Amino acid sequence: QVQLVESGGGLVQAGGSLRLSCAASGLTFSTYSMGWFRQAPGKEREFVGAISWRGSRISYADSVKGRFTISRDDAKNTVYLQMNSLKPGDTAVYYCAAKKLSYGLTKLEYDYWGQGTQVTVSS
């Protein structure tokens, strides 16, 4: 049974930082590309960033480029999202997702999802 468990969310002031983690189990992590998505109240779930299964390709949404960094540790079956210079507009539930092998930028491409972790940025 595949499980993705996010952690690291919380309340932070604008300009602050958080690091989200997503621990995976029940799959061969090194063969999965991993994505981060977020969903704010009343809005669609949107792409934040993704890292390929080899870690050689990384993409970010324009809204977070230069502020967020994705990384992965295959020895720990974990993907990370380092979020710096946070803004109130980053407030959302953040989800990690897994996709076998090839790299994906849209939520429909992903096979497995975590339960999400809340990030709230106060002004």
Q: What is the pLDDT of residues 37-96, one digit of tens each?
A: 999 999 999 999 999 999 999 999 999 999 999 999 999 999 999 999 999 999 999 999
| pLDDT (average), residues 11-15 | 98
Predicted confidence at residue 103, as pLDDT, reads: 80
Q: Which residues pair with 18 in a beta bridge?
A: 83
| 30-42 residues labelled b (16+ CB within 10 A) or e (exposed) | eebbbbbbbeeee
In sequence order, which ranges of 1-123 are alpha helices (DSSP H)? none
Per cent of the chain over pLDDT 70 is 100
Q: Is the pLDDT of residue 25 over 90?
A: yes
Asked if 48 and 38 count as a contact pair (C-beta separation under 8 A), the reply is: yes
Predicted confidence at residue 102, as pLDDT, reads: 86
Query: What rounded mean pLDDT belongs to the chain?
Result: 97
CA atoms within 13 A on the CB side of 107: 14
Nearest CA among 101, 30, 105 for reference residue 72? 30
